[in-house]
């Protein structure tokens, strides 16, 4: 059986009994005090800006074993600030050390990618995971704890104060703008959106945009007036979200011949391919014409285009 030996030479069968003994062991406490001095902690934590974990690893290389937790506790006694877990995670040395240990032991940099670990977890929890926090019961527990914490008005107040500091706001914006975060968020949204039914898709879009629905704009008014003059009572402005087709809100609709006219603003639609919009309405029997805002400069050309489009037979109908 593996023995755990204290610096005072006493043996213990488990690590728990050893750690239980340490706070009462005069020799150990003296030893700790002699190494984790105020000066040592200030030098490493403040001057060198190391994390507690980093220091723990550096000491380990010299055969001195102190956990990051005990270093943090000592630092607290002297009023020295230590890094948070998320700050420590970014530490290069910590990451390297973790990866090297995993490489030595399992021949892989991240143990959660290791087949043995995966199999063990699969057997134990019946789930395919690559991170413990993905486990259903862990997720459930975290949720419960979070709800419990936030249900205390005092905690809610604290949380609100925390997110309202200028620094927190700045950090949030910075985090949101990180390319990997943006990519991840947009992928998540796309995945969620694609999993919805057609009706849910329409409701989702409506909900998101109804609050931001703007009154008809200048260019749209020009087109609407044109349509009303050329084809009285045939075309309707639906860009106010009064009609949704396949999750999109068409600008103008002629219900008599199932035709749609979309007006593409030069700025918002500058990178859009009109064919995408045409294909979205096609399965629902709608023929679509896309007009770009800049085309309105030559109004006669637009009129010709609209007449030709409106009078053309709709084979999709
Ligand atoms: Zn001891």
User: Once rounded to an integer, what is the mean pLDDT over residues 80-101?
Assistant: 72
pLDDT surpasses 80 at 299: yes
287 contacts 259 by C-beta, under 8 angstroms: yes
249-266 pLDDT tens trace = 899 999 999 999 999 988
160: tokens are 């609100």
CA of 23 to the centre of ligand 1 (A): 9
CA 24 to ligand 1 centroid distance, Å: 8
pLDDT of residue 298: 93
**pLDDT at residue 25 greater than cutoff 60:** yes
Higher per-residue confidence, 305 vs 198 = 305
| Residue 260 CB burial class (10 angstroms; 0-12, 13-18, ≥19) | buried
Residue 50 C-alpha to ligand 1 middle, in angstroms?
A: 28
d(CA 317, CA 313): 9
Task: Flag whether pLDDT at 36 surpasses 80.
Answer: yes
Between the CA of 115 and the centroid of ligand 1 the distance, in Å, is 40
* pLDDT, position 301: 94
Specify the range with the lowest mean pLDDT, choosing from 33-42, 51-60, 84-93, 272-281: 84-93
Q: Which of 30-39, 96-105, 160-169 has the highest mean pLDDT?
A: 30-39
Over residues 160-214, the pLDDT tens digits come to: 888 888 888 888 888 777 888 888 888 888 888 888 887 787 777 777 666 555 6
pTM (2 decimals)? 0.38
Rounded to an integer, what distance in angstroms lies between the CA atom of residue 185 and that of residue 24?
Answer: 51
Q: Distance from the CA of 30 to the center of ligand 1, in angstroms?
A: 10
Task: With cut-offs at 50, 70 and 90, classify the pLDDT of residue 218.
Answer: confident
78 Cα–ligand 1 center, Å: 24
Inform me whether the pLDDT recorded for 96 exceeds 80.
no
What pLDDT is stored for residue 166 in this prediction? 83
Question: Any bridge partners for residue 261, and if so which?
Answer: 252, 289
Query: Residue 242 C-alpha to ligand 1 middle, in angstroms?
Result: 77
Q: 218-311, superfamily in CATH?
A: VSR Endonuclease (3.40.960.10)
Residues, Cβ < 5 Å to ion ligand 1: 6, 8, 25, 28
- Ligand 1 centroid – CA 32 distance (Å): 11
Inter-residue long-range contacts of 85-89, CB under 8 Å, 24+ positions, other chains counted: 87/51, 88/51, 88/52, 88/53, 88/54
Q: What percent of the chain has pLDDT over 90?
A: 27
Query: What's residue 202's pLDDT?
Result: 76
Domain ranges for the chain, please list them: 4-98, 218-311
Q: Give residue 304's pLDDT.
A: 94
64 C-alpha to center of ligand 1: Å?
Answer: 15
pLDDT of residue 311: 92
What mean pLDDT, rounded, does the chain reach? 84
pLDDT of 85: 64
Ligand 1 centroid vs 26 CA: distance in angstroms?
7
């Amino acid at each position: 059986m593996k023995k755990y030996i204290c610096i005072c030479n006493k043996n213990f069968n488990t690590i728990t009994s050893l750690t239980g003994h340490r706070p009462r062991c005069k020799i150990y406490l003296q030893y700790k005090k002699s190494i984790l001095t105020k000066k040592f902690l200030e030098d490493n934590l403040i001057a060198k800006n190391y994390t507690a974990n980093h220091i723990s690893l550096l000491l380990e290389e010299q055969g001195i074993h102190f956990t990051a937790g005990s270093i943090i506790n000592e630092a607290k006694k002297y009023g020295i600030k230590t890094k948070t877990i998320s700050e420590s995670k970014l530490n290069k040395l910590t990451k390297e050390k973790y990866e090297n240990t995993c490489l030595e032991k399992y021949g892989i940099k991240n143990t959660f990618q290791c087949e043995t670990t995966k199999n063990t977890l699969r057997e134990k929890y019946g789930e395919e995971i690559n991170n413990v926090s993905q486990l259903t019961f862990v997720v459930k527990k975290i949720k419960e704890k979070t709800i419990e914490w936030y249900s205390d008005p005092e905690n809610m107040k604290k949380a609100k104060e925390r997110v309202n500091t200028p620094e927190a706001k700045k950090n949030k914006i910075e985090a949101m703008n990180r390319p990997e975060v943006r990519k991840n968020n947009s992928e998540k949204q796309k995945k969620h959106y694609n999993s919805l039914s057609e009706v849910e898709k329409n409701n989702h879009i409506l909900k998101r945009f109804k609050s931001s629905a703007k009154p008809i704009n200048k260019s749209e008014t020009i087109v609407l007036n044109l349509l009303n003059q050329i084809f009285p009572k045939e075309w309707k402005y639906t860009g106010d979200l009064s009609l949704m087709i396949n999750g999109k809100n068409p600008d103008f609709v002629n219900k008599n011949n199932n035709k749609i006219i979309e007006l593409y603003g030069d700025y918002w639609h500058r990178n859009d391919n009109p064919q995408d919009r045409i294909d979205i309405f096609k399965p629902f029997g709608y023929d679509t014409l896309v007009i770009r805002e800049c085309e309105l400069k030559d109004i006669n050309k637009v009129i010709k285009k609209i007449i030709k489009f409106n009078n053309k037979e709709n084979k999709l109908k």
